[in-house]
Amino acid sequence: MKLIDADTVVANLSPLACVELMADTQRAISEGVITIPLRTSVSVGDDTQLLVMPGASAPTQTFGAKLLSLAPHNAARQLPVIQGYVLLFHGESAEPIALVEAASLTAIRTAAASALATRTLARSPARTLAILGCGVQAASHLDAVCQVRDIEQVRVWGRNRQRAEAFCAEQQRPGIRVEAAATVADAVADADVVCAVTGAIEPILEGRMVAAGCHVNLVGAHQSDTREAASELITRARVFTEITDFALAEAGDLLLAMADSGFTREDIVGEIGDVLLGKVPGRQHENEITVYKNLGNVAQDIAAARYVYDQITA
């Protein structure tokens, strides 16, 4: 069995390759080829969770499970918030074939899923990207979104201005201006694409802040009682999910909007895989706001982990 560390994951899983993996995975989910259960969460202490996510992928002839610890308080200690592994089994022999470091895999595939939604739903051209948050996912989202749109300006907001400025200094790249914004409103003003990758539990992104024609990826909140976006944004937008049943169980951005506004399940346009399959329309005109709720799922992890395994064993 291969033990695949974070450096090997990063070296063998490019953002653009992962976008294509996410497209294949989401199409397969919406076609019913891949079926996965909701993840199991166990509380450990005040704010630490153990997440267990089993799944099987017929297209990759692989099954397995992802086992993660999620400890938000680790950010203040400069320790990883997410730690764990993906265990892969061969689909035919049922032998374990790899244990893959999960934090690096999660960072790349989560951003790739947002980039896929951006490629599918955002206006073209889209030149300005706003990133809310300045952690690991902020960096991976910057890498991934720049693969699918010709981004020229990036505005980054973080609760800690010094951290946001340090992030921007580290993320400078040719042809792209990366700068810190003083407020969320400043960051998202006239942005073509917004990626919210914060640890917020209450809304930080108000509907009135978002310009007509913007595409928004909501990534940071992953529990039924937490959200990054206010209800006004959800009700203004055409909303797309990764797996609608999962969103209706876990996506506080949508569930809390259902509780305090006129938003309903019927207002969800469809899954991103449905758009890729041509079952539902994506963006219909230049001025509409689109929202993609990115929760992540173990089928994405299995596909990405199997890809890395295949790369190093080819």
Q: Residue 82 belongs to a domain with what CATH number? A: 3.30.1780.10
Say yes or no: 147 and 282 in one domain.
yes
The answer as to whether 111 is a domain residue is no
* pTM for the predicted model, two decimal places: 0.95
Domain shared by 24 and 127, yes or no: no
Domain count, the chain: 2
In the chain, the amino acid numbered 260 is: D
Tell me the residue range of the domain where 280 lies: 123-293
Angle at 236 between CA 233 and CA 238, to 5 degrees: 100
User: Which domain CATH number covers 160?
Assistant: 3.40.50.720
Backbone dihedral angles phi then psi of residue 215, each to the nearest 5 degrees: -110, 135
What is the pLDDT, as a whole number, of residue 59?
83
> Do 277 and 145 fall within a single domain?
yes
Residue 116 lies in a domain: no
Residues 62 and 137 occupy one common structural domain: no
The count of C-alpha atoms lying within 13 angstroms of the C-alpha of 275, restricted to the half-sphere facing its C-beta, is 25
- What does each of the 314 residues of the chain score in pLDDT, given as a tens digit? 999 999 999 999 999 999 999 999 999 999 988 879 988 989 887 789 899 999 998 888 899 999 999 888 887 787 888 899 999 999 999 999 999 999 999 999 999 999 999 999 999 899 999 999 999 999 999 999 999 999 999 999 999 999 999 999 999 999 999 999 999 999 999 999 999 999 899 999 999 999 999 999 999 998 999 999 999 999 999 999 999 999 999 999 999 999 999 899 999 999 999 999 999 999 999 999 999 999 999 999 999 999 999 999 98
Question: Does residue 160 lie in a domain region?
Answer: yes
110 in any annotated domain: no
pLDDT at position 262 is 86
280 and 302 inside one domain = no
The verdict on 79 and 136 lying in the same domain is no
Is residue 133 included in any domain, yes or no? Answer: yes
Tell whether 30 and 84 lie within a shared domain: yes
Do 226 and 134 reside in the same domain of the chain? yes
Note whether 181 and 76 are same-domain residues.
no
- Same domain? For 260 and 187 the reply is yes
Residue 15, sorted as left (phi over 0), alpha (psi -120 to 50) or beta, turns out to be alpha
Same domain, residue pair 137 and 282: yes
CA-CA distance, 82 to 62, in Å (whole number)?
A: 23
Same domain, 255 and 150: yes
